[in-house]
Amino acid sequence: MAAPGGYGGPPPQQWNAGMGPPPSDFRQGQGPPRQPLAQGPPQRGPPPMQGMPQFQGYGQVGGFGQMAPMPPPPPPPPPQGKPPSMEFTDLANLDEAACKSAMIEHVNQNCCYGKKPANEMNLSKAIGLTALHYTLETFCEGRDTGYVNEPYRGGPVDGPQNGPPPPPWAIPCQPNGMFETHTKEMEVPHTATVRPCHDCDARGYHRCWRCGGDGRCSCHTCGGDGRITCDTCDGYRQMKCYIKLTVTYTNHNEDHIIERTDMPDELVRHAKGETIFEQVMTQVFPITSYPVREINDNSVRLVNSHRSAFPNERQLQQRQRLRAVPVTEANYTWEDFSSRFWVYGLERKVHAPDYPQQCFGGNLLELQITKHDSVIKRTLALTQIYNSSKPQ
Ligand SMILES: [Zn+2]
Ligand SMILES: [Zn+2]
């Protein structure tokens, strides 16, 4: 017959204040040891590792509250043979009229921008320079194990009596989605044991830290009982200890941007573009035959660096992508003001840091740029109503 609270026995009973009077000699100092009176509940440490069962394949398991990485199986050899044929597509850029209509659209969507310059500006020339955005994603899996303990509230316990635990990398676990960073946690089969609570010596309660167990009727912490429920076992007297497995899926993402205009390159990263090449494999072959050598060089560099960059993880899948993002630089004049702006992305976003009429903090900002010996000098002036003022 199983002991109460043991494997498959009746559910253990939780200790609660008022379940009965404390042992007759409790007030004389028997039972839980007296501690110096405190302002708050005492800090309690993890249970001792002493006496925990040892498991084959788990020599490097972390102690209570510590997760330790489990070395992954050796990686497969790099892909052999001829790389699959790589086909690339390309796309056209915008002309002056398309740039101007993108600017008018941008200003219309932005209540802070005066519409006058967009409608009246003259575009002298538009230079289309397609930006290239190469990304390499390496989707990896890491496994960590460590001991955890929790109050044993009853129910089946999957312990060593059911056989040896499977090795850490043999436990089935599937990612929720490829190329998505997330974690999963589970109990390692056959590692659970039920042990007496180390904090309260399986009493389910502690001597009250405020009144020392004297049970003063004015003590609000124990309500005059002299005892308080053990936080560690939640009054259940026993703890279930087991090895927890944490599986971490990480999408390692690196990229390289080629953008030839003076627009900040990073704007290309989140702009829509056309995919001119994509490959998903366990291990991709780097791009070597694209007409732009800088792309080939950086594809080889990133693929090679990812091969050894994550030694504690198993590589599940790789994806490389080459996107073409249209970027058009447009030069324009408006009244005696001249500058340039950029239209980028398939969604035709506009980057116009020098746009003549922008408001700031609710006021319209007039921004004047004059060119002197190739030095750009800026003068800023605030106006309340943009239509009534013009750059000087
Ligand atoms: Zn008390
Ligand atoms: Zn306890």
The predicted structure's pLDDT at residue 287: 93
**pLDDT by residue (tens digit) across 188-239?**
999 999 999 999 999 999 988 888 887 777 788 888 888 999 999 999 999 9
Q: List all residues 6 or more positions away from 19 whose beta carbon is below 8 Å from its beta carbon.
A: none
Which residue in 228, 358, 177 sits closest to 350, CA to CA?
A: 358
- Is 30 a residue whose pLDDT tops 60? yes
Rounded alpha-carbon distances, angstroms, from residue 326 to 101, 132, 226, 314, 365: 16, 9, 75, 37, 29
Share of the chain above pLDDT 90, in %: 48
In angstroms, the CA 154 to CA 10 distance is 7
How far is the centre of ligand 2, averaged over its atoms, from the C-alpha of 220 (Å)? 21
Chain centroid to Cα 153, Å, comes to 33
Buried b (16+ CB within 10 A) or exposed e, 32-46: beeeeeeeeeeeeee
C-alpha dihedral (91, 94, 95, 99), degrees to nearest 10: 180
The predicted structure's pLDDT at residue 360: 52
How far is the centre of ligand 2, averaged over its atoms, from the C-alpha of 60 (Å)? 28
How far is the centre of ligand 1, averaged over its atoms, from the C-alpha of 194 (Å)? 30
The predicted structure's pLDDT at residue 290: 87
In angstroms, the CA 12 to CA 386 distance is 77
**Would you place residue 376 in the very low, low, confident or very high pLDDT band (cuts 50, 70, 90)?**
very low
CA dihedral (45, 51, 56, 60) positive or negative: positive
In angstroms, the CA 47 to CA 64 distance is 7
How far is the centre of ligand 1, averaged over its atoms, from the C-alpha of 228 (Å)? 8
In angstroms, the CA 52 to CA 61 distance is 12
The predicted structure's pLDDT at residue 38: 82
How far is the centre of ligand 2, averaged over its atoms, from the C-alpha of 64 (Å)? 16
How far is the centre of ligand 2, averaged over its atoms, from the C-alpha of 196 (Å)? 8
- Is 66 a residue whose pLDDT tops 90? yes
| Nearest ligand by distance to the CA of 37 | 1
The predicted structure's pLDDT at residue 251: 98
Residue, of 264 and 108, whose pLDDT is higher? 264
Concatenated DSSP letters of 169-203: GGS----SSTT--EEEEEEPTT--EEEE-TTTTTS
How far is the centre of ligand 1, averaged over its atoms, from the C-alpha of 44 (Å)? 19
Neighbours of 347 (CB within 10 A): 9
**Would you place residue 7 in the very low, low, confident or very high pLDDT band (cuts 50, 70, 90)?**
low
**Would you place residue 118 in the very low, low, confident or very high pLDDT band (cuts 50, 70, 90)?**
confident
Q: List all residues 6 or more positions away from 363 whose beta carbon is below 8 Å from its beta carbon.
A: 382, 383, 384
Concatenated DSSP letters of 2-59: PPTTSTTSSPPPPP-TTSSPPPTTGGGT-SSPP----SSPPP--PPP-TTPPP-TT-T
- Is 362 a residue whose pLDDT tops 70? no
How far is the centre of ligand 2, averaged over its atoms, from the C-alpha of 341 (Å)? 69
Q: List all residues 6 or more positions away from 59 whose beta carbon is below 8 Å from its beta carbon.
A: none
**pLDDT by residue (tens digit) across 142-188?**
999 999 999 999 999 999 999 999 999 999 999 999 999 999 999 99
- Is 373 a residue whose pLDDT tops 80? no
In angstroms, the CA 207 to CA 225 distance is 9
Which residue in 236, 213, 233 sits closest to 223, CA to CA?
A: 213
How big is the CA angle at 115 (ends 113 and 121), to the nearest 5 degrees? Answer: 115
How far is the centre of ligand 2, averaged over its atoms, from the C-alpha of 32 (Å)? 11
Retrieve residue 54's tokens: 């040892």
Average pLDDT, the chain: 84
